[in-house]
Amino acid sequence: MPNATIIALIPLLPLAGFVLLGLFGRKVFRNSSGILATVLLLASTVLALYTAYEYFFVYGKVDSIYQKFIPLQLTWLEFYKGLSIDMGIYIDPISVMMLVVVTFVSLMVHIYSLGYMKGEERFPVYYSFLGLFTFSMLGLVLASNIFQIYIFWELVGVSSFLLIGYYYDKPSAVAACKKAFIVTRFADLGFLIGILILSFCSGTLDFQTLIQRLTVPGSSEFNTAVSYSFMGVSAITWGAALVFVGGAGKSAMFPLHIWLPDAMEGPTPVSALIHAATMVVAGVFLVTRLFPVFAITTPNTLVIVGWVGAVSAIFAAIIACTQTDIKRVLAYSTMSQIGYMMFALGVSKYGGEAGLGFTASLFHLFTHAMFKALLFLAAGAVIHYVHSNEMKDMGGLRKQLPITHITFLIACLAIAGVPPFAGFFSKEEILLAAYQNNIAIYYIALITSGLTAFYMFRLYFNIFWSKPYESHGESHHGEGGFVMMLPLVLLAIGAAAAGFIPFGEYVSSDGTPLKSNFHLQFSIAPVVLGLTGIFTAMWLYRSQNDRPAKIAASLNGFYKAAYHKFYIDEVYVFITKKILFNLIGKPAAWFDRNVVDGAVNLTGATTQAISVGIKKIQSGKVQQYAIYFLAGVIVLAALFIYVWK
Amino acid sequence: MNDIFTLMKSELAVTAIIFLLLLIKIGKGVRNEALLPIIQVLLLINLISGFFFNKEGALFGDMFHTSTLIAFQKNILNLGVYLISLLFTDWLKKSQHMAEFFMLILSALLGMFFMISSGNLLIFFLSLELSTIPVAALANFDLEKKRSSEGAMKMILSSAFSSGILLFGISLMYGATGTISFAEIPAKLDGSSLQVLAFVFLFSAFAFKLSIVPFHLWTADVYEGSPIAVSSFLSVISKGSVAFIFISALYKVFQPMQAVWYNMLVILAVATMIIGNLFALRQQNIKRFLAFSSIAQVGFILVGMSSSDNTGVTAVTYFILIYVFSNLAAFGIASVISEHSGKENIDDYKGLYKTNPFLSWVLALALFSLAGVPPTAGFFGKLFLLTAGAAKGEYWFITIAALNMVISLYYYLRIVRAVFMDKNETPVDKIKLNDSVKLAFIICGAGIVLTGLFSWIFDFIQSLH
Amino acid sequence: MMEPGLYHILFISAALFFIGVYGFLTRRNLITMLMSIELILNSVNLNFIAFNKYLWPGKMDGLFFVVFIIAIAAAEAAVAIAIIINLYRSHHSIDVVNDEDLKY
Amino acid sequence: MNLLLLLIVPLLTALAVLLSANGRQVKWLSFIGSLAQLALAFILLYTFEEERATGNTAQMLFEQRYPLFQSLNISLHFGVDGISVVMILLTAFVSIAGVLVSWNIEKMTKEFYFLLLLLGLGAYGFFISLDLFILFFFLEISVIPKYLLIGIWGTGRKEYSANKLALMLMGGSALILVGILGLYFVAGHSFDLTEIAKTTIPGNIQMIVFPLLFVGFGVFTALFPLHTWVPDGHSSAPTAGSMFLAGISMKLGGYGCLRVATYLLPEGAKEYANIIIALSAIAILYGAFATMMQKDLKYINAYSSVSHVGFSLLGIGMLTQTAITGALIQMVSHGLMTALFFAVIGMIYDRTHTRMVAEMGGLMKVMPFIATIFFIVGLCSLGLPGLSGFVAEMTVLVGSWQNNDVFHRVATIAAAMSIVVTAVYILRAIARTAMGPIKNAAFLQLKDAAWNEKLAAIILVAGILSIGIAPNWLNELLRPAAEIIMNRIAGK
């Protein structure tokens, strides 16, 4: 059985780091904060690896099926008997896998940051935020309760906000963190309502119970969920779809992706951790958590998931080909890869062989975490060296940054799907799953795969080849020392070798191990496409020439549109500025000041006006007073003699 | 034992003081400065003695009757007069005719006592006149000021006119019932048109004295013209006494016509509150302001009267007790400031708190009490009036009354704002208060705070029935 | 000659009353206004006497009332005239139109 | 515990303050007094829990009754249930924080603290009263101190705001008064809440009295569209004034809406529930949108209060036990949060002498403590888990969702939408004040919070966190009480 204390410690150690550094970072741990946080996280990572080992190889498998365990569950808030938010630990292959990924990448980032962030004024704050994030992310993956996920979901959102806004005096960073938070918040609204719907239908917030109740056709809860409908769509579908909206927001799926490129304003290690490896895949994780429910919905929500993923994948890939900020390229590539994961889920089914897409998706999540984190960290090293994010300031860096160069190349090969690197295997499975279930998505994926190879190598050649590097101002400090290179190397090993893990053995939609069968003839197409992409990039960017410009010119309109990210940002600006602010906010404020408040003031003013208007009654003429007197008597007499008799 | 000396104790005491003053005046033996303390002590004794040996009984073939409740009501008036003697020390000392002032005031008080105790229309009429005519003379007490004379003229003419109407009503009532005794009238009331007409005439006289809209128009002019001491007497004591007799007349004598007077009270209460408040809103002169505010207060008293059980009587009595403290305190402040700086406008009160914190707090307390804000007694007073009035379940009526409290709060706060918040280049100078004035303010302040919190006072009044 | 009945007297007194009221409301001279009030009071007196004689002959209430009204009227007039004299002293006029300083 | 202590301690403190010699004494006396209040509140919580643990399930605990105005059947009837205990805790928290942040008041120190203590006294009295008359007395007692606090120590259009506040609140209490009198006569001449709860009030009377009471109390708690005193009042008030106003006084209204209007008049509540829901859903969204356009920090918080308080009223209108519990949690949460928010704004204003968002920027650099607190309170406001706002809003939403029809659903979704809008305006405010470059070079000289301000902030943050991290203790306190209310509504 899983050991609750050990597992609980995994998220709690980073939390301890957050609290300690948050409260005393300034004074007590001024210089040792990084070390402290890293040590705590190292402990966490070890525990996570231990847990994973124990789960996968010791107690997890019963009757050759990986079991689900809830070793710990505390009532956090009880709404009424039976419906409560619990804080629990949910152990199944997915969460254990995620534990490893999160702690490992986070550890890498912690180590890397020791070098990268050295000398920063708010160094302790940085590490405390990292601690907060790691805690929240771990809490998220361990959640046993749908509301618990929501809670940690928000917390990762806020840690992301804090870390993007780490350079708070930079207006662009401030804008970016705001945007990230608000866009994901908007998506979370969907998530929240989805939770409300699902919990109302099932009468529980607990994952296991919820899935149990909602996936047994014929159970009373299932009947409720199907019978209630709104706009012709059943409650359960609404629920699942809205939950997916939340996931899509966090995972930067089209059209809620706009925050992700801007989020690159944060420190690069943060981008590696949050906006590449862990938080952004939370959407995928969320869908896998509720996968049985998604799978049973009619009309099938998974179709939406699939298409959103596919569109995002190709959409982001196209944009990535045109960007010049290296981190933005990576950001769009992240979006594209998550799109892969999403549509892999979308084309999957629940259980058995049909669940291939499910396994593939998580496999890709796993490998992507390695190589994308690596890409970001390597890019970080480059940026650290060049002090710029722009491609035009780079070129020919392979001499100056040899380790970075090699590791970056490995990562590029991995993401491009060149065998035998990690990405090849996971992509392979995804494409296979897509091919089996939805041929349209398959072709999109194929094209995307080629584009991916192209833009990654465009990046690679632009940074490390292209033109000889001319340094500006000689203040260079080499590649960043051991602490920065160690994570690169470790992650490179991961990126190179992770593909050989028989992932399907461990993680599948229903816990039964899935044999990964390899189809050599099937992999020809993607590999060829990938290589084509690579060579095209090489042809265009290996040394400086005017070919890219010519091609850009020939594609004029389309290129421009892609360069401007298809103007999605402008649409959003229009919606917020013009509609939200000018059409709703302003009138509301005006209405309040003038109509509602005006009514109150008008009451006062009217009273005053009447008061002035009737002052003539008190004319100062004693005879008039007598007339009023007499009139009063007569009116009263008449009233009571004739009217009210 | 129907003993004239016990039953008419208060009246006799007041008469004795009047005669004493008359003798002193004739003898010319005592200077003003020495006279005032004597009067104050006499009035204090009168007040204290008023609490003891009160009995129920009737004299002169039921023309005069008294009870513990009536004695208590009279003592409220005694209290008011005593406070007046303290509060207006500064003004009185300047006056050449202090003895006359008190003689007139006490005569009026005597009239009020008889009025409250009156057992038939004749006594009622006589005492009403006795309580009015001296006050008209008092209103003209500032002989040199034209405004004072004008106020007095308006008062005497209006009240003479109202007496005429009243008498006409009484004569009709006599014609319709054949009696002028309060005890006999109820049995004769059959609701005929003539009786209603007579009742309306009678009612209007009460309304005149109480300044109920639309019979109120003399009030503000007279208050403004008269010396503040007289205005305060008019607004507190005179009104209180009429309210007492009015409520007992309505409840006891005109009980059979309840349907008529209930509706009449409701209509007039609403009109009075609204008009009083609306006029008070924009007043600048503090006396005039207090005049209109007291008209509005009368509206609330009417709400309490519209109940027709003992709670109504208790609530009205209780309210008037509180009203004595609060309104006299307000008038007292106005007088002190007017005497020392000659300022009578609300704008002149700006920045008063800077120079005279004590006066400001007393004023604030008084105004809050008038506005009916807790923890002052005025809150309880008003609330019980409304409680009494709500017994019939007329929600709209009570709602209007309650909303009128909001309007009244607005203008009371205007003064509070001037005193505490507004800035002023030339605020009223620091005023050195005379000890007796200070004592009076402390009594008022204590009364304002404690009358409400000492809930047994209310229960005590209720037990007097 | 016909004996005058109750209604005749009431008619006269009512007329007197309204003449008084009319006078009070229209005369500009303060003394005249005062006199108008006397008219009102006298109409009341008439009323009382008439009621007493015709309706309730066994009682004396009406008659007493009349006596007291006369006395009170005198007192009232005395004070009123004193005030009027005072007014006259201050601005040499007893016209009611001149006494409208206190208003609004 | 003897509940009278809750009145005696503030009263004695207030009197002592009046008699004290100088400003220093006044401050320390007030501080010690409010510390004692806090201690009392905790003792009350403890003894209450103890008593409940012994199995005492009476609706009200520690009941006391002293006759007062016997002839009208009024008595000082005190007692507490979970709701009152929580509200008393809230009052104690806000009181002490209010005393602390006012440490630098120079003008009429004595009067200032006296009025503050009086406000606290009124709130305690209100929350422990079981006699409607006394309850009303304590409700009213707090109006004038508010008026004076704003009018004398306020800023901007203070006289106007003070007037508006006093008059609107008085208007509200006028309606309450009529409602209470109605109940008094229907219940056979009794103001006693527990007595009235036992009588069945005829439906037609409920239809008249309920709106009177609900709207009356609603004015106090900023029921749309009677909320306009809120922005002006809050923005003109001195820091501690705003804190008391928003932190405590607005809760009086919410408490009254629930304890008096809804509890005593269930038929009326059911009849008017939809109107309440509609109004509060509008208030939530409309308040949030109006907040977006505000430029003054205090206005931002004031309008956001309208929006947040809407959640309380929505919860009450939803008439489910969970929603009502949520409404109560929201009251506590909003009380703490908004008090803290105003405290922070006050601190910023004391230093920068501006409240205009546009004139600030980069405060994080010069006053990291204040800016951090600003972050925390902002995040609480936008409902971040781990802070109290989240717990409250979620409870309301889950409770609301139990009503299974389109109208309730739409209202709930509208309310839920506010969490996005809230995020927009809160982040805008934070981003423009705490973050970004420093716009005014003079700001570089500013100092961070002093000890008193830090202590005040920490006390309130502790409150927020204690609810946000472990909400169940609060929930368990409130739920049984809400259940009793629901039982009466359900006619059990």
For residue A222, pLDDT over 80 is answered with no
Reply yes or no on whether the pLDDT at A375 is more than 70: yes
* Nearest alpha carbon to residue B217 among B167, B163, B268, B155: B155
Nearest to D471 among A77, A230, A604 (CB): A77
Q: How far apart are CA B153 and CA B169, in angstroms?
A: 24
- pLDDT of D277 strictly over 60: yes
pTM: 0.91
Q: How many helices (H) and strands (E) does chain C have?
A: 3, 0
pLDDT of D134 over the 80 cut: yes
> For B323-353, how does the pLDDT look when each residue is reduced to its tens digit (9 = 90+)?
999 999 999 999 999 988 888 888 889 988 8
Q: In this predicted model, which residue has the larger pLDDT, A102 or D436?
A: A102
- Lookup: tokens for A312: 């995002």
Among partner residues D385, D412, D428, which is closest to A155 by beta-carbon distance?
A: D385
Window A:61-80, CB contacts with D under 8 Å: 75-80
Tokens of B369: 């009490």
Q: Are D226 and D215 in contact (CB under 8 A)?
A: yes
Tell whether the model's pLDDT for residue A570 goes beyond 60.
yes
pLDDT at A296: 82
Residue of C nearest to B175 (CA): C51
pLDDT at residue B439, as a whole number: 93
- Rounded Cα distance, D305 and B224, in Å: 47
Q: Is the pLDDT of residue A473 over 60?
A: no
Question: Nearest Cα to A644, choosing from B257, D304, B235, D207?
Answer: B257
Residue in A586, A597, A584 with CA at minimum distance from that of residue D224: A597
Backbone φ, ψ for residue B189 (5° rounding): -75, 125
Q: What is the DSSP letter of B56?
A: -
pLDDT at A28: 78
Calpha distance A123→A112 (Å, rounded): 13
Chains linked to A by 3 or more Cβ pairs within 8 Å: B, C, D
Check whether the bond before D225 is cis (ω within 30° of 0): yes
Please classify residue A147 by burial: count the beta carbons closer than 10 Å to its beta carbon, then call 0-12 exposed, 13-18 middle and 19+ buried.
buried
Question: Which residues 328-357 of A are in CB contact (within 8 Å) with C?
Answer: none
Q: What does the DSSP 8-state code read for residue A643?
A: I
Q: Which residues of D58-84 are buried (b: 16+ CB within 10 A; e: fewer)?
A: ebbbbeeeeebbebbbbbbbbbbbbbb
The answer to whether residue A477 scores a pLDDT higher than 70 is no
pLDDT of residue A517: 66
Chain C, residues 10-39, CB within 8 A of chain A, namely: 21, 24-26, 33
Say if B220 is an interface residue toward chain A (CB within 8 Å): yes
Q: What distance in Å separates the CA atoms of residue C32 and residue C36, rounded to the nearest whole number? A: 6
Does residue A515 surpass a pLDDT of 80? Answer: no
Angle between helices A4-24 and A33-53 (to 10 degrees): 170
- Spell out the domain ranges in chain C: 6-91
- Cβ–Cβ gap D163/B413 under 8 Å: yes
**What is the predicted pLDDT for the residue at B270?**
93
pLDDT tens, D57-94? 888 888 889 888 888 888 899 999 899 999 999 999 99
The two structure tokens encoding residue A179:
């945007």
Residue contact C21–A630, C-beta within 8 A: yes
Q: What is the pLDDT of residues D391-434, one digit of tens each?
A: 999 999 999 988 888 899 899 999 998 888 898 889 888 888 88
User: Which of A415, A347, A344, A335 lies closest to A375, judged by CA?
Assistant: A415
Q: Is the peptide bond before A420 cis (omega within 30 degrees of 0)?
A: yes
Q: How far apart are CA B412 and CA C78, in angstroms?
A: 40
What does the DSSP 8-state code read for residue B249? I
Axis crossing angle, helix A207-214 with helix A171-202, rounded to the nearest 10? 50
**Which chain B residues are closer than 8 Å to A628 by Cβ?**
214-215, 217
**What is the full DSSP assignment across B289-332?**
HHHHHHHHHHHHHHHHHTS-SHHHHHHHHHHHHHHHHHHHHHHH
Contact B278/A611, CB-based, under 8 Å? yes
Q: Which amino acid is at A28?
A: V
Q: How far is B259 from chain D (nearest CA, A)?
A: 21
pLDDT tens readout for residues A168-211: 888 888 888 888 888 888 899 999 999 988 888 888 888 888 88
SS3 D445: helix
Categorize the per-residue pLDDT at A568 as very low, low, confident or very high, splitting at 50, 70 and 90. Answer: confident
A140 interaction partners in chain D (CB closer than 8 Å): none
Which among A612, A624, A636, A642 is the top mutation candidate for probing chain B, defined by the most B β-carbons within 10 Å of its own β-carbon?
Answer: A636
Backbone angles phi, psi at C86, to 5 degrees: -60, -40
- What would the DSSP string read from start to end of A244-289? HHHHHHHTT-TTS-THHHHGGGS-HHHHHIIIIISGGGHHHHHHHH
Residue C73: pLDDT band with limits 50, 70, 90 = very high
Q: What is the pLDDT of residue A620?
A: 85
Q: Give mean pLDDT, residues D453-477.
A: 90
Determine which of A633, A643, A644 to mutate to test the interface with B (most B C-beta atoms within 10 Å): A633
Q: Determine the 3-state secondary structure of D443 from DSSP.
A: helix
* Alpha carbon distance, N-terminus to C-terminus of chain A: 92
Tell me, what's the pLDDT at D464?
Answer: 92
Q: Which pLDDT score is estimated for B322? A: 94
- Interface residue A189 vs chain D (CB under 8 A): yes
What CATH code is assigned to C6-91?
1.10.287.3510
Hey, where are the domains in chain B?
Answer: 2-463
Residues of A in contact with B218 (CB under 8 A): 622, 625
Residue B384: list chain D partners with CB under 8 A: 69, 72
> What are the tens digits of pLDDT across the range B291-317?
999 999 999 999 999 988 888 999 999
CA–CA separation, C14 vs C12, rounded Å?
Answer: 5
Neighbouring residues of B252: CB distance < 8 A, sequence distance ≥ 6: B182, B186
User: Token pair for residue D6?
Assistant: 């809750």
Q: Report the C-alpha gap between C11 and B301 in whole angstroms.
A: 38
Report percent pLDDT > 70 for chain B: 99
> What's the pLDDT score for residue D35?
93
Under 8 Å CB pairs connecting chains A and B tally to: 78
User: Is the Cβ of A178 closer than 8 Å to some Cβ of chain D?
Assistant: yes
Q: Is it the case that chain C and chain D have 3 or more CB pairs lying under 8 Å apart?
A: no
Residue contacts between A and C (CB atoms, under 8 Å): 27
Which residue in B323, B310, B265, B266 sits closest to B452, CA to CA? B323
Q: How many CB atoms lie within 10 A of CB B442?
A: 12
Residue B336 identity (one-letter amino acid): V
B63-66: long-range contacts, CB 8 A cutoff, minimum separation 24: B63/B118, B63/B119, B63/B120, B63/B122, B63/B123, B63/B181, B64/B7, B64/B8, B64/B114, B64/B117, B64/B118, B64/B119, B64/B123, B65/B117, B65/B119, B66/B7, B66/B8, B66/B117
Please identify which residue in the block is written with the tokens 């080629």.
A450
Cis peptide before B375 (omega within 30 of 0): yes
Q: Do B421 and D182 touch (CB under 8 A)?
A: no
pLDDT tens profile A7-60? 888 899 999 989 888 888 777 777 788 888 899 999 999 999 999 888 888 888
What lies within 8 Å, CB to CB, of B382 at 6+ separation is B300, B319, B372, B405
Domain that holds residue D224: 5-489
D225 close to D236: Cβ distance less than 8 angstroms: no
How many domains are contained in chain D?
1
What pLDDT is attached to residue D211?
Answer: 92
* CB within 8 Å: A623 and C100: no
Averaged pLDDT for residues A261-288: 86
Distance CA D156, CA D183 (A): 41
The answer to whether A629 faces chain B, any CB pair under 8 Å, is yes
Looking up tokens 């000689």 gives A474
**What is the arithmetic mean of pLDDT over B145-167?**
91
pLDDT bracket for residue B393 (50, 70, 90): confident
> Is the Cβ pair A640, B260 closer than 8 Å?
yes
Q: How far is CA C92 from the centre of its chain?
A: 26
